Amino acid sequence: MKKVLYLLAVTALVTSCNSSKLAPVAKNAIKPTVVTQATPHDTDDPAIWINKANPSQSLIIGTDKEKETGGLYAFDLQGKIVNKVYPMDRPNNVDIAYGLTLNGKKVDIAVVTERKKDQIRIFSLPDLKPIDNGGIAVFADSEHKDPMGISLYTNPSNGKIYAIVGRKEGVSGEYLYQYELTDNKGTVTANLVRKFGNYSGKKEIEAIMVDNELGYIYYADETQGIRKYYADPAKGNEELAFFGQKDFKRDHEGIALYKTSDKLGYILVSDQQANNFVVYKREGENGNANDHKMIAKIPFSTIECDGADAVNFNFGGSFTNGMLVAMSNGMVFHYYDWNIIQQEIDKQAK
């Protein structure tokens, strides 16, 4: 019965999309395995939290970005809302990290940008309890605040956890701020460690993704391309790559990383106005880690997707090789079985 309801929801969204000015969904688009329960207002960005002790109890954490009455929502693997934090003042993007030390204990965290309060909020997982003393101000020394994008980097050599934060607009070369997250008697504080990141000035930078193992930050300079930097602040602020400039209809949006091993995998970027995901090799091309060429362009049933996340993990059931989770118009998130995505990549990459 649940699958029937999900298919009906998808059909309704596709019909609505095709009868409006929104991007049409292709007839051959991959269909979601699960469509979540709708939030009250406007979904934007998801993050996947793995419950390693009990994979079936893993969660999808997603934002509902309404001004003043928005919230952070937790969904189970069947798409049901099981927890929420609200009201929040336009929560935008969210990311997850594992094992931040607080009072001598390891705590998994979700960090979300709260745009209209110019701060980030930090919650423990899986209970979504605040551990930030009400919020942490970002871009405090700049006239350009309005935080949007966020991604978390865990340095594998020393375990330090950082938040990389983007905003609606900013200065090229200092568009992103990177903060180290630390313990202050059981609550989280953030210390600014660097400003970096080129910006075209054309639209905005919202989608940010970090590859912990390889040590890279990727972010979407919307309408222009994807930029790549080192994640470790000690390695400097050189731009390593600027790719995908001709692969999109217009906006470069949500970025997801799917790892097939410690060094191999795929970078997937939402081609928002075409309802595609554009796929690149995580490892680059021909031995050049910074040469990222499009290897596939896959139509999805998501409607004008803003945010996405992916993970390679056996959750059991329909997601034995993990999933991609993507925001879609209609106040929902879509869960996609990675096995189906991999078939499409293999077909196009031959």
Extents of the domains making up the chain: 2-349
Give the closest residue to 127 by CA, choosing from 186, 11, 70, 49: 49
The per-residue pLDDT of the chain, averaged, comes to 94
Could you tell me the end-to-end alpha-carbon distance of the chain, in angstroms, rounded to an integer? 38
- The confidence score (pLDDT) of residue 349 equals 83
Question: Is the pLDDT at 9 greater than 60, yes or no?
Answer: no
Strand 147-154 with 161-167, pairing: antiparallel
Distance CA 169, CA 136 (A): 19
Average pLDDT, integer, range 32-43 = 98
Partnered with residue 71 across adjacent β-strands are: 64
**Domain 2-349 has what CATH class?**
mainly beta
- The confidence score (pLDDT) of residue 20 equals 54
Task: Report the 10 Å Cβ neighbour count for 11.
Answer: 12
Range name among 18-22, 51-55, 75-79 with the lowest pLDDT average:
18-22
Question: Is the pLDDT at 19 greater than 80, yes or no?
Answer: no
CA-to-CA separations, 189 to 102, 148, 257, in angstroms, rounded: 11, 19, 27
**Side chain identity at residue 349, one-letter code:** A
Question: In which band, very low, low, confident or very high, does the pLDDT at 15 lie, cut at 50, 70 and 90?
Answer: very low
Question: Is the pLDDT at 334 greater than 50, yes or no?
Answer: yes
